[in-house]
Structure 1
Amino acid sequence: MEKNKSVPVLKELWVYLLAHNLIRMLMAQSALLADCLPRELSFKHSLQPWLALRQYGSPEDEDGLANLLMLIAQRRVGNRPGRIEPRAIKRRPQAYPLLTKSRRSARAEVRKNGHAKHVK
């Protein structure tokens, strides 16, 4: 990829990362204010009031920021168990069976009987 084309893409990625971290920071501040864990707060509900405040209000106002943090802390998500996934891939069905014997004996069998049928 040419350098000219990759620079705007990298800038856009950094902007998305910065925005994501900003919302996560708001969630952390709201959680601290409401005495709960940040993962108990809704990311989407944290984003929507912040966008509304940016569009219709003054985010520099201290009362507006405090109200925003309290509003974010009001919407909590339920307990979501089982969020830990193993870092592994499942074995998918293959077109051919696994080679379970030595390659030499498998070649001899193919010469004698021909290739096996496809497994679906």
Structure 2
Amino acid sequence: MQRYELEAWLGDNHGLTEDQVTDLLGHANEIEARYPDPDDQNERDAALEVAYRFTGGDEGVANDVMQELAIARGAAQAAENRALAGLRQAAIMQIPTTETESSFARAANVDRMTVRKWLGK
């Protein structure tokens, strides 16, 4: 990432010093190296946002960010568990009558072995 790209991403009221922008640029380049695939844009954005918040804040900000991320991760895990339980029930009810294991797996975005496990096979 070039400095001008980072400054465009930050906008005008970012509140960072020149040294902090330089530091953040180093983190941005590390993040880009860690997530080189174009499909990883969401991961790059999330990591860069955390780097920005850590760079511009004190220890209290870092703790707040970590707590927010932990809460978000817990909510995402709960949502995934709920969705998987629903998909499992759907598999149990649909596959014997209207779906094949493979077609259900494709529609549910899981692998066929997961579907077979849900069915007790």
TM-score under structure 1 normalisation?
Answer: 0.31
Which one has a larger percent helix, Structure 1 or Structure 2?
Answer: 2
Structure with bigger RCO (C-alpha 8 Å, 6+ apart): 1
TM (normalized to structure 2)?
0.31
